[in-house]
Amino acid sequence: SQQGEEDPQALSIQEGENATMNCSYKTSINNLQWYRQNSGRGLVHLILIRSNEREKHSGRLRVTLDTSKKSSSLLITASRAADTASYFCATIVYNNNDMRFGAGTRLTVKP
């Protein structure tokens, strides 16, 4: 069954703007991850944030985790056309056997 749910389902912005995507989940988790998928391709792992962490950075990416609200956000700063992709959050309760993905946010960055 689906655990993470991303919103918005689709987001369209201009190059240079920031993009924020949110993920909500239902049960307590061990960690939460964000992935990117270019059209019809495999997923690329972006960031893993553990349940005892509140924020992580990687380049232009910033991920926050609020376990009290059971939610996470992915911020992409200074977006580029190449950031156009679908972004998924995935939660792990115990291990990868129970990893569950959301339906994703489709981000379009217009040049």
Q: Which residues contact another protein (rule: CB under 8 A)?
A: 2, 4, 31, 33, 35, 40-45, 48, 88, 90, 92, 95-97, 99-104
Q: What is the rounded CA–CA span in Å between residue 19 and residue 38?
A: 16
Residue closer to another protein (CB basis): 104 or 107: 104
Q: What is the rounded CA–CA span in Å between residue 10 and residue 59?
A: 23
CB of 31 to another protein, least distance (A): 7
Residue closer to another protein (CB basis): 1 or 111: 1
Instruction: From residue 56, give the alpha-carbon distance in Å to each of 24, 41, 48, 97, 103.
Output: 17, 26, 8, 24, 23
CB of 6 to another protein, least distance (A): 9
